Structure 1
């Protein structure tokens, strides 16, 4: 018989190692457990086993301690007289006495205890204690509210409890709103939702004085409020449920729920308060169980009854109709396979060629346990289409091209054939550099999964061109400012069709044989950039030196007769002159004229201002040629000759 062994599990069995839902987390709620000795101020709580002084000097009173002091024992006394040292506990023999000084900075007396277990963040706790106002004399009445508890991670407060702003710690404490007046014992109750996993609790006056309601006789700062506290209870509203239960279809299981509080459960359809139920759902169902406390706290928990259905599993790989038959799950237990494509029911042998592309479904039924049943989904993909992209389709060698497989189903293995004798097994994307001109077709073999292989081929996909080699010549070989017109000629190799010249003087040309004139001497960086077939580019740069040069035009005669023609002996020139000086001598070697301005010629007059005699005069012209480059040398030139003065 197929199935699972079903066991009825009760949540009660789970309580052996934890506190029962609703157990008091205060180890000594009535301040009864002590060593029998009388404690003395300020350590009156020292004899207690579970309680200690958390702030101030809280008091322990007990019927077995000698009476007569508000720090020691108890005895009968009339109510309504403001006696803090006599009276009887609400229950048992012990009681806690707590003081709150009058005024905004009045001291607080707190007792502290470690909880039996840390609080559960987010869970609700029901808190109560009995309290009696001991300052009940109508003629000197002190009564107030805000007696409560404070939860902490530390044994003692890490702040000044007397002066702290409690509004900043609102998630740590709860306090009563009613004024604790009169003379009788009163019970205060709270519902508190834990914000942290607190381990300690303090009890006494809580909160900010500014928010309290109180009566203080004569508003005497030397006096204050005093109460007795007894039977402190902190209960966790909780419910225990069984762990997740797993059953086969058609089976059932017993669920037992445990709580010290009233509870109800629901599966979303049925709602009941029965604490033990037998369920047999058809599908996996969650049963929600809620315990409700006496002070408004609730705790919701749940248990899942999992009904085993044949689980859906995916075959871990994609196959295609070309894949050879294969076993779906070699590790499956004994059982039977059914469904399209199954050619061996016992072995689970599947042939995808029988199903074609699509989602095939094969059901495995285990021979023994329904938990082992499952349905396997096999994705039979069509023969994959292949999309290969390239970032470049042509260019100059060396040409590096990136080939990328952008198919929707990437392959597991690749073999790239670049058509130039080189191959690669890189996956998905590959780079290859072509080093020779030509047209290359790409071949690609893709193995998507075992026995599912496709081939891809492109013809003349990549065209690789021979790059040009830039070169140029120019004439004259040594230009200067006299011969400053330079003829450039492109002598690049390759099928060039575009030229870009930069003559080095902020001018250029796009002509293959440009003619360019240089206006100043210097060393010019001439650059030629050529473009050939396939947008292949190369460039070359040469240094062209244009030397400085001067050509003089010196007349051999002049007639200073003021007829407007040849009235001056003046030099004409081409080029750049520096440190120019012209000197004219008569035939006896006497100086008759001198000038350092080439634009200022000799007007034929002697030093006395009279026109010089007709005859031949000798001139000397000196000047400096600057170098074409900063590193060149200066050259000093001299021109000498005769000039005839006519009248």
Structure 2
């Protein structure tokens, strides 16, 4: 519109005929100045209107955002009030205590620690929990008894109230007595009361206790938990969760004849037997016998193992002093040529012994001579009474002494013709 106005003025001026008098130019000059002022004012009005519109839109948008924020604040406050009315605020606080461990929570827990309960009301809560745990009829409605262990890591929400989690795990479910077991709750919080029933007549109110089962059997374990400031008590049990195996009982007796000992295994509830202490040897016979080689004190151990892998060990000391120290002299060569000199081979010194056996073998292990007469000696002939050829042979002597000891010796001899 402003541009058309200026064009009209221009057209008027182009067609305008003025006189040459000075007064005429003054009138034209004043007319142009007046029109320019009108154009400037219209521009000012247009810009002002535009600024006003933009400012109005901004103000409207700001008020709308503020109203929505206030509505959300009111709704949030309403929810918080409802939580207060239904004890939800306390349950939410318990979860914050568990996860965030803020400074204010720590301060509260220090005054309400389960290990330092000082006021009468908290003690009554624990006693109430114990009584409910021991009363099976009362616990049936709130106790979850299962045969197999399936962990529930999350808390349950009932009627907008977060319940404590009574689930738990153990590090060992079976083993030999005594069996030490570590118990770990699914929910750990210093603002909770814990009561453990180990199933063997003992209990504990620690958060993560350890317990030793000294007797064999199957044991049902339960955990009862409660938040300090809420009244709901939750329990969970696992039937026959812990299985403790009995140990075998190692026992043995022994008798001896000289250096030879006879052991009698009298162990109970055992399947496998391991004997130790026999000159470094390991014996797995049930009731072994052993001929000791030296006069000394031996430490004999019997390890008994049952079908479940449980073991028991019994150790006894045996003093052996019946071994006779006998020096047996045997020549290493003889000449059976009939000249009356060194014609026979055998024991050359007198011995006091009960039994005597001497054997002669060739290098291939063939038996050539056998005698149990301590007075008889080998003349260099085989069992067919034929002379053997010159060469090296093997002799073996077994002597049983008057005390019942058996002594065995062997060596080489040279037959020379």
TM class by shorter chain equals 0.3 to 0.5
More strand by share: 1
Question: How does the TM-score come out when normalised to structure 2?
Answer: 0.42
Please identify which structure carries the higher helix content.
Answer: 2
